[in-house]
Structure 1
Amino acid sequence: MNHLKAIVIKFVMIAVVLGIILSGIVGMEFSDTLLISLVLTVLAYVVGDLGIFQNAGDYTERKKRNLIATISDVILAAIVIYFMGQSMVQDSSNFLTAAIISAIVIGLGEWFFHKYLDRQVFNREEIHHDAQRNY
């Protein structure tokens, strides 16, 4: 259940960012924005959060894990947004800029989302407190 809640939070975050930038500023159809948001959410959760974030160092290296996962999320977001958007937009001359800006804003949200994952989804906060008591 925690994973489902995390995926919904991630989707809403991505959809809001892409809705503002791609639909509001670039003029992309909102349905296309939602499709990109859905694809990016699933890919980023599986690859970035379950794959990279959960396995990029041990729990005590929080900042390192978060930095690695956030950078990979930004790169993944830029690639997905750019290539999916290119196929959906008539005038794609400035779409690279929109994809990069969107990816950076999503990356800022991901930094905080990873902290949420540690505390609420992966329950690592409890493990961390137990480990500190044993030292």
Structure 2
Amino acid sequence: MKHVKALIMKFVMSAVVLGTVFTGIYNYDFSDSILIGLVLTVLAYALGDLLVYRNAADDSDYKKRNIVATISDLILSFLVIWIMGASFFGNTITVIQASVVSAIVIAIGEWFFHKYLDKHVLNTDNYKHTDATYNK
């Protein structure tokens, strides 16, 4: 159930960004934006979050794992959005611009999403409180 909730959160984030950029700014079809968001969510969760983020570094080196995974998510997001956008709308400069902007905004969101994953889904022990009574 934790993974389903994480997937829904990731999809909503991607759909809002793609809907805003592709549909709101560049006037592409909303249904195509949602489809791109759905494909991106599944691929990015499987490859970026479960594979790269989990294995990028030791659990104790959260910052390094997050940096590596966020950069990977940026690249993957750009490629998926650009390839799908080009197949739906043609490979124009506006599709490339929309892909770059969307990928950057999604990558920023991924930085925070990884923190959620650590705390609620992957259950790593990076969020210890300094209160001595909590750690007992």
- TM-score, normalised on structure 1? 0.91
Question: Separation in 2 of the partners of 1:109 and 1:94?
Answer: 22
The total of aligned residue pairs comes to 131
Moved more, 8-17 or 84-93: 84-93
- The aligned residue for residue 33 of structure 1 is 33
Change (3 A) 1:120 1:100: same
> Alpha-carbon deviations, 1:96-131, whole Å to 9, x = none?
111011000000000000000000001113x764xx
Question: Separation in 2 of the partners of 1:128 and 1:38?
Answer: 30
Question: Separation in 2 of the partners of 1:91 and 1:20?
Answer: 20
Q: Does 1:42 align with 2:42?
A: yes
Maintained 8 Å contact 1:44/1:76:
yes
Change (3 A) 1:93 1:114: same
Maintained 8 Å contact 1:21/1:102:
yes
Secondary structure of 2:93's aligned partner: coil
Specify every segment of 5 or more residues in structure 1 that has no aligned partner in the other structure, as ranges: none
Maintained 8 Å contact 2:119/2:127:
no
Deviation at 1:93, TM superposition (A): 2.8
Deviation at 1:71, TM superposition (A): 0.3
Deviation at 1:28, TM superposition (A): 1.0
More helix by share: 1
Q: Does 1:98 align with 2:98?
A: yes
Question: Separation in 2 of the partners of 1:87 and 1:98?
Answer: 14
Q: Does 1:70 align with 2:73?
A: no
- The aligned residue for residue 84 of structure 1 is 84
Give percent identity, aligned residues only: 53
Moved more, 54-63 or 90-99: 90-99
CA RMSD of aligned residues (A): 1.8
Deviation at 1:91, TM superposition (A): 7.4
Question: Separation in 1 of the partners of 2:101 and 2:127?
Answer: 35
Specify every segment of 5 or more residues in structure 2 that has no aligned partner in the other structure, as ranges: 129-134
Secondary structure of 1:44's aligned partner: helix
- TM-score, normalised on structure 2? 0.90
